[in-house]
Chain A
C-alpha cells in the first residue's frame, strides 16, 4: 500500500469537516473517545471476526490494551462514564482512526488504519424514528461530501426475533437460535436438532445419570452429578461451577422431554431467512409467507413498514434499496435494523457506510439495563476513493 500523501490527508480533512458539520447541525455532539482501549472489555463484546483482527498489546505494567477496531464501543464507554445508568438520551458524533489487522494484507479498500466518521444515538424511545433519523443523517452527510450515486441495503434482525417469538417453542430454544443466527452452519444444525425427538436426547452420558436429571427437581441434579464425578474419578477443576454444569444438563434433560419443533415451523424459519429482494416489497413478501402458515408478525412488519416510510419522508429514495433477511448475520452486536450504503465504484464488499440498532451493547459495556441505541459510520477513505472514482 502506498504511504499516505499530504494531499490525501488534506482531502480527507476537508471531507471530514463537511461530514462533521452535517452531524453537528443535526444535533449530534462532537466527541473524541480514546484510541487506546482496555482489551478485555472490547474483546468480550465485539464479534469473533473483529476480535481476531484487533491489535492487542500489553503495556509495561502488564495491562492488556488494544487499538480500537471501531468507534462504537469507545463511544458507549464515553457515554457510560458521563451517565453511569446509560439510559440518559444522548447523541454523539465522531471522526477518528480505527485499526484492524487485514488477513492477507492491507489494501486501499481494506486498510489496517482508517478513519471513521459516525454518529450514535442512545436512549431514544421511538426506535423506528431513531433508525430512520440515523440513516437520513448519514445519507445527508454523504451527499454533503458530494456522493450522489449509491444504494441502500437493509435488514431487520427484529423481524427474525419476532418470528421466533411467534412460533411455539421454549424460550431457551429462541435464545439458542438467535445466538446461532450469526453462524449459518451452526444455525442449520441447531434447527435440525430441535425438530428431531431423537437428536434432542441427552447424549454421551450414562443412562443412570440421565435418569436422575429431572428438570422438575433441579436441586437433585447437583448431588447426582457430584456422585457421578466421584465414581468416575473426575475432579472438578476450572472456573465453571458444578451449578453451571448442572444448569446446562437440566436444560438438556428438559429438551429431551420437550415436543420437537414442528417441521413446518422449521421450514418457515428457513424460508424467512432466504427472503431477499426490493426493500419496498419485502414486507408484503414476508406477510404472505406468514399468512400461508397462520403466523402473525403484524407488529414487527408494521414497525418495518413505518421505518421505511420515515426514511422516505426524510428524502431518501428507496426504489432500488435491497432487503435481505440474512443481512446482519455477520455483524455481531446488532439487534434490529441494519443497513449499508454501497457504491458501484467499490462494490458490495466495500460499503462506504454501515450501521444499525444495537440495543444490548450498552448493557454489555456496563449499563444497568438494555438501552435503545442505533448508530452508523462512514468509512472516510472509501468515500474519498468513491468520489475520486467518479461517484459524485
Chain B
C-alpha cells in the first residue's frame, strides 16, 4: 500500500457501489482507470497524477481508513460508523456522494400493534421474557450501531443475534424477534411483514468521501486532497 508520496484513494472494487462511484467520479472529470491488467487492484486518475487508486472491498475501505493505510476512501457511512465507535475522531466525512442511500433502521413485525416506539420495546420486554424464557433477540449485522442506539434510547432488555444475510427474514423464521437492518424503499421490509418504528431511524446513510486521520498526511498530500475536493464539488 506504499504510495511513494502519492495520496492513496480507496474505491469500491465491485458491485453497484463501484459502478456508481466510477460514474460519479467520471462526471466531474476524475474517472479512475485501472493500471496493469483490467482485473488489477491499482489505478490512477489521469487529471490528478498525485493520486494512486486502490480498488478494494467496502469493508476493507473502512478498515484501511481506520488504520491509516489509505488517505481517502469512498464508502458507506453506515459501514464506517459500525466499525468505529469514535468515527468522528478517526476520520473526516468530507463529502456526501449523493448515491448509495440506505437507512439503518429498527423494524419489528407489523403485527406488533402495541409497539410503535423504541420505548415500547423496553415496556414489552419483561412480558416477552416471562412468556418465552429468554430476552427478545435483535438480528443484525450492525451490532455496534444497534447497541449504541438501543443504549441511547434506554432499551437494554434484548440480545443481539448476528445475522450476515437476509436479516429481514429472521423474525418470520423465528430466529429473532426484531431487526436492525438497512432499507432504501422499505419494500423488502414490508414484504417480510416488518414495520419501522416511529423513532427507529438509526442513521440515514449514503456513500461518503472520507479522509483518514491516521494516515500519514504531509502538506503536499493535503494539497492534493484540496485539488481533488475542488474538482469533486460540494
Contact = CB atoms under 8 A, between A and B. Distances in A.
A234 B193 contact: yes
A239 B171 CA distance: 7
Contacts of A179: 122, 125-126, 157
A242 B114 CA distance: 11
A238 B114 contact: no
Contacts of B198: 204
A153 B128 CA distance: 34
A205 interface: yes
A47 to B, nearest CB: 7
A35 B209 CA distance: 45
Given A48-B156, A179-B126, A244-B127, A249 B113 contact: yes
A176 B125 CA distance: 10
Interface in A232-285: 234-242, 244-245, 247-249, 252
Contact of A204 (B116, B124, B147, B154): B116
Contact of B174 (A228, A229, A238): A238
Contacts of A49: 156
9 contacts: A48-B150, A175-B126, A176-B123, A183-B156, A186-B154, A204-B113, A237-B109, A240-B128, A240-B177
A176 B121 CA distance: 12
Contact of B135 (A44, A176, A228): A44
Interface string B107-139: 001111110100100111111110111110000
B151 interface: yes
B193 A235 contact: yes
A18 interface: no
Nearest to B109: A238
Contact of B156 (A47, A203, A225): A47
Nearest to A203: B116
B26 interface: no
Interface in B166-195: 171-172, 174, 177, 192-193
A107 interface: no
B68 to A, nearest CB: 18
A51 interface: yes
B128 A238 contact: no
A171 B129 CA distance: 18
Contacts of A234: 110-111, 113, 193
Given A43-B135, A44-B133, A48-B157, 16 more contacts: A40-B134, A47-B156, A48-B156, A52-B147, A186-B122, A204-B116, A204-B198, A209-B113, A234-B193, A237-B111, A238-B109, A240-B128, A245-B112, A248-B114, A248-B124, A252-B114
A48 B172 contact: no
B158 interface: yes
A236 B111 contact: yes
Interface of B: 85, 109-114, 116, 119, 122-129, 131-135, 147, 150-151, 154-159, 171-172, 174, 177, 192-193, 198
Interface of A: 40, 43-44, 47-49, 51-52, 103, 175-176, 179-180, 182-183, 185-186, 189, 203-205, 209, 225, 228-229, 234-242, 244-245, 247-249, 252
A44 B109 contact: no
Closest 6 CB pairs of A and B: A186-B154, A48-B156, A183-B154, A237-B193, A204-B116, A238-B171
Nearest to A204: B116
Contacts of A209: 113
Which of B132, B151, B156, B192 neighbours the largest number of chain A CB atoms within 10 Å of its CB? Answer: B156
Nearest to B129: A44
A237 B172 contact: yes
Which of B134, B154, B192 neighbours the largest number of chain A CB atoms within 10 Å of its CB? Answer: B154
B151 to A, nearest CB: 7
Contact of B109 (A203, A204, A225, A240): A240
